[in-house]
């Protein structure tokens, strides 16, 4: 997943983003930031792991290996509003060194001065982000964790993956369709095959299928363009 920087091009980067999921075709590679051991510390760039969708699956021990090497990352996030039963919007961000954020984003105008901040008895999240104000999103995530509990959340994720496996099997058995990317979690990437093997016809055929299914209002399929 990682390659050595091409020093001949003299390109520099301030940060590196990897993800166990990409928005439309999840990779079947684990995030594996440490395999080979890498980047942030060695190249002094910010190393962020975007697990917006797949992060939720890692509540199940059998999927946790997708986070192997995560200790090398400077930051990690998952969107609890994607696959963790939490209402939009709620994203969880872990950061190794909070000072990096604070040094970049803190503001200290007089009117925000108060004893609690001065005495460092509170965490001023205004210094971790651009807005000063923030909604109490952690409350709803806490409610999800307390209401469902770990086992229910695990079985919810496992059930989705089982349903995806079942759907994938049905698609694979149907010769009119093709599975176009390896399924890792609950996302199945498939397409209709054109009778004449013409790729332009294939795109049109699949757009028509997408429109037909989505206009039903019963099922919603998301789409992408995938390079073979
Ligand atoms: C991999 C990945 N990263 C980031 C995002 C952005 O999520 P949001 O803007 O809701 O935080 C998405 C959303 O689809 C995603 O799939």
- Indicate the SS3 state at residue 56: helix
Residue 228 included in any domain = no
What whole-number distance in Å separates Cα of residue 110 and Cα of residue 166?
60
Q: Is the CB of 98 under 6 A from ligand 1?
A: no
Assess whether the C-beta atom of 127 lies below 6 angstroms from ligand 1.
Answer: no
Q: Strands 15-18 and 46-50: what pairing?
A: parallel
Residues 148, 4: Cα–Cα separation, whole Å: 43
Residue 56 has, within 13 A of its CA and on its CB side, a CA count of 26
Mutate to test the pocket of ligand 1, among 56, 79, 91, 189 (most ligand atoms within 8 A of CB): 79
pLDDT for residue 8: 56
Q: Tokens 């990409």 label which residue?
A: 22
Two tokens, residue 227: 């390079």
β-strand partners of 79? 91
Cα(169) to centroid of ligand 1, in Å?
28
The verdict on residue 203 lying in a domain is yes
- Residue 184 belongs to a domain: yes
Number of other residues whose CB lies within 10 A of the CB of residue 111: 5
176 within domain boundaries: yes
Range of the domain at 177: 150-215
Please give the tally of structural domains in the chain.
1
Establish whether residue 19 lines the binding site of ligand 1, counting it when its CB lies within 6 angstroms of any ligand atom. yes
What spacing in Å lies between the alpha carbon of 24 and ligand 1's midpoint? 10
- Nearest CA, atom 8, ligand 1: 79
In the block, which residue shows the tokens 């999921």? 21
According to the model, what pLDDT value does residue 13 have?
64
For residue 47 and ligand 1, the question of a CB distance below 6 A is answered with: no
27 Cβ inside 6 Å of ligand 1: no
**Residue of the CA atom closest to atom 16 of ligand 1:** 23
Report how far ligand 1's centroid is from the alpha carbon of 78 (Å): 9
Instruction: Give the Å distances, CA to CA, from 174 to 161, 168, 170, 188.
Output: 20, 10, 7, 14
43 domain-assigned? no
Cβ(101)–Cβ(127) below 8 Å:
yes
Closest Cα to residue 191, out of 219, 205, 214, 183? 205
Strand pairing category for 75-79 and 91-95: antiparallel
Position 196 scores a pLDDT of 85
Give me the tens of pLDDT residue by residue for the chain, a chain 228 residues long.
344 545 555 555 666 777 766 555 555 444 554 444 445 556 678 999 999 999 999 999 999 999 999 999 999 999 999 999 999 999 999 999 999 899 999 998 999 999 999 999 999 999 999 999 989 999 999 999 999 999 999 999 999 999 999 999 999 999 999 999 999 999 999 999 998 888 888 999 999 999 999 999 999 999 998 876
Give residue 108 CA to ligand 1 midpoint distance, Å. 31
Does the residue 206 lie in any domain? yes
Flag whether 192 is in a domain.
Answer: yes
Residue 95 inside a domain? The answer is no
The pLDDT of residue 37:
42
DSSP three-state, residue 193: coil
User: Does the C-beta of 33 come closer than 6 Å to ligand 1?
Assistant: no
Closest of 59, 60, 63 to residue 20, by C-alpha:
63
Give the ranges where the chain is alpha helix by DSSP (H): 39, 80-83, 98-105, 115-118, 137-173, 199-215
Is residue 40 within 8 Å of 67, Cβ to Cβ?
A: no
Q: Whose CA is nearest to atom 13 of ligand 1?
A: 23
Length of the chain: 228
């Amino acid at each position: 997943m990682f390659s050595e920087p091409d020093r001949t091009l003299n390109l520099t980067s301030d940060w590196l983003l990897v993800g166990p999921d990409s928005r439309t075709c999840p990779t079947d590679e684990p995030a594996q930031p440490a395999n080979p051991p890498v980047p942030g510390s060695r190249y002094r760039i910010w190393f962020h792991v975007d697990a917006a969708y797949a992060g939720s699956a890692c509540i199940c021990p059998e999927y946790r290996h997708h986070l192997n090497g995560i200790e090398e990352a400077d930051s990690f996030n998952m969107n609890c509003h994607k696959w963790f039963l939490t209402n939009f919007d709620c994203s969880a961000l872990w950061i190794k060194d909070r000072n990096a954020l604070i040094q970049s984003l803190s503001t200290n105008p007089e009117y925000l001065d108060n004893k609690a901040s001065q005495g460092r008895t509170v965490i001023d999240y205004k210094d971790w982000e651009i807005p000063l104000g923030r909604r109490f999103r952690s409350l709803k995530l806490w409610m999800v964790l307390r209401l469902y509990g770990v086992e229910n959340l695990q079985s919810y994720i496992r059930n989705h993956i089982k349903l995806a496996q079942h759907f994938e099997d049905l698609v694979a058995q149907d010769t009119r369709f093709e599975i176009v990317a390896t399924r890792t979690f609950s996302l199945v990437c498939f397409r209709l095959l054109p009778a004449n093997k013409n790729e332009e016809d294939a795109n049109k055929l699949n757009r028509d299928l997408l429109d037909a299914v989505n206009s039903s209002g019963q099922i919603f399929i998301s789409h992408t363009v995938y390079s073979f």
